[in-house]
Each structure stands twice: as C-alpha cells, then as structure tokens.
Amino acid sequence: MATETNESLLKGKSIYSIYEGLEGANNVVALRGLNIEMKKGEFVAIVGTSGAGKSTLLRILGGLQRPSAGTIRFYGQDISRMSEKLLVPIRRSTIGFIFQEGNLLPELSGYDNVVRTLRYSGMGFDEARERAKSILIRLGMESRMHDLPHRLSGGELQRVAIARAISNGPALILADEPTGNLDAGNTEQVMQLFRELHEEMDIALLIVTHSQHVASFADRSVELSDGMIIGQHGAGSDIYALEQSRSVIISDSGNLTLPPELLGVMNSFGYHWDFSFNLNGADPRIIGRPSLQAHTNCPVCNEPLNGDKFYCHSCGAKLN
C-alpha cells in the first residue's frame, strides 16, 4: 500500500503565470495566484476545460517552466528560482513525466527507451537492462517491448511511457492528459494501472485531465478554471453531499465560488438548496442540502405550473 503521510511533497504558493502577447496582443494570464499542496504518496487529479491552465501548472510544478511569481517547494526546497544546473538532476532522479503523446524516441524500441532513461540517471548498463525488463513485464508489455514505437498501439505506447516514468523510482509522477489519445477501453486500463502502481509503490501522482471520469481514479481532484482553483473533491464524491466531499473557494472579495458542475446540478429545475453554516470547533463547515421538493409555481412569475416541468405557460419561461 502507498503510505500517504501528512508530509508535504510539493507545495505551490501564490503561483502566477503570464504569457506575454506577441506584438501588441494582450498578455495571457494563465495562472492567477493559486495555492496547491501535495502530500507524499498522494494521487491527485487536476481537472478543467481546455485553456484552464492545467498544462502550465503541471510544467511549473515539475520545474519545467518558471512561474511569473510565486514559489514551488519540493521537499521543502524552493525550486522556482533554482538554476537549471541544480534543477536538472533533481528532476531526473525524483520526478517522472508522462505526456499525451507518450514522447518516446521513435528510433528506439520501448525497451531501449526505458534503458536509455535509466542510463541517463546514472545506472549501470546491466542493472538498467534488468530493471527495464522487469518493469515492462510488470506493465504487461513482455511480448511487445522490443517493437519500435510506430508498431505499438496508443495504450501500449502509454505503458512504455509509464514504465519510463516510474523506472528510476521517482517520488512524483506528473502526467498531462495521459489518456488523451486513448479510446474508452484503453483509458480504463491505463487509469487502472496508475491506481495499482500508486498502491504498490510509494509514488505520488498528479494527473491533468479534462475528464471527470479519469479524475475519479484519483484520491482527490482539484478543479481549475481560468487559472484559478475553484473547488476540490474526493473520489467518487456524491455531488449532493456537499458537506462531505466539497470544499468551496472564497475569493479575496468574500464571494463563494462553487464548482461549475455543481452549479449545473443546483440549477436543475425542482431542486431547492438550503445552506447552513456550522462554525463550531476547528472545522467550520458550509452545509448545502437539496430539498427535493419540486416547484409547484413558476420560479420566474410565480404562477402555478400545473405539473409542467419544462415550460411555464403563463410567462413563457423555459425551465430545466
């Protein structure tokens, strides 16, 4: 079993990322002062739509890109201002990366791709060969590991990419849309594999995805929208049980921001939400409960609906 501890592995504080616009174009603010922390051995998903800032955040947390402002502490050490010379060996020995395309060297077999990574991290040739072989066998690639990447399926390519990322026993794996090119069946298998590896080895996993389903394999997911964290929840959370699985973000100006798919549910016609505030003790909570009472009157004009759920015949309001 992965031993999840309370010890901090990675901690990003007030991270901003600004891309300068080309010749007169506006700058793009990709990340707007967000805070994120991962404990050792945790499995976290970052979810959000395209353009939310997920890839930017992943590259910054992995030390592949510098934030415009803010700090990233890895094992307590600030890596955001560290020189490349110091950073490269840390990345190589403790962080594994997986990208959507797999990024294997096309002229080398899957096996040789893994061996090469191990050799780069300073391992001797014989040991690297042994290790590559046993990992590829563990990942179900025994019969395909000597094929060149162009002969492998999307799912097989990702297995090799995973083998390469875990080969030198990293503390952390960062994966950007690792199932982005896979069909539903392969997505299921690859995510299952991530879960198994997470449970067998003491590896923390951070997976970026636009899919709620992929995110559900993680222990916790963090929702990113427009460069800000707008919510987080545990795996398989029941969206109605807000008090158990959700946290909401309170902005600097004191507004509550609720995750978009929760708003989608709350807007559903017929649900009425009550919020109460439990401020006792060290763990203050905001508790939301849907009351399943259907509206009998139109929420817009208050005329009786006469049982029609989707349309008010009095004022013409569409209800959903």
Ligand X SMILES: Nc1ncnc2c1ncn2[C@@H]1O[C@H](COP(=O)(O)OP(=O)(O)O)[C@@H](O)[C@H]1O
Contacts with ligand X, residue ranges (CB under 6 A): 19, 28, 30, 48, 50-56
275 binds, among ligand X, Mg ion, none (CB under 5 to 8 A by kind): none
Least Å distance, CB 262 to ligand X, is 20
Least Å distance, CB 14 to ligand X, is 17
Least Å distance, CB 72 to ligand X, is 16
DSSP 279: -
> What length does the chain have?
320
The span of 49-57, 100-108, 164-172, 268-276 binding Mg ion (CB under 5 A) equals: 49-57
Q: Does 17 bind Mg ion (CB under 5 A)?
A: no
Buried b (16+ CB within 10 A) or exposed e, 215-229: bbbbbbbbbbbebbb
Q: Does 55 bind Mg ion (CB under 5 A)?
A: yes
The nearer residue to ligand X, 52 or 205, going by C-beta atoms, is: 52
Pairing relationship of beta strands 256-257 and 204-209 according to DSSP bridges:
unpaired
Q: Does 209 bind Mg ion (CB under 5 A)?
A: no
Are the beta carbons of 155 and 186 closer than 8 angstroms? yes
| Count of other CB atoms within 10 angstroms of residue 273 | 14
3-state secondary structure of 249: strand
Q: Does 167 bind Mg ion (CB under 5 A)?
A: no
Sheet (strand 28-39) strand order: 28-39, 8-19, 69-74, 77-78
Least Å distance, CB 174 to ligand X, is 13
Least Å distance, CB 187 to ligand X, is 18
Residues that bind Mg ion (CB under 5 A): 55
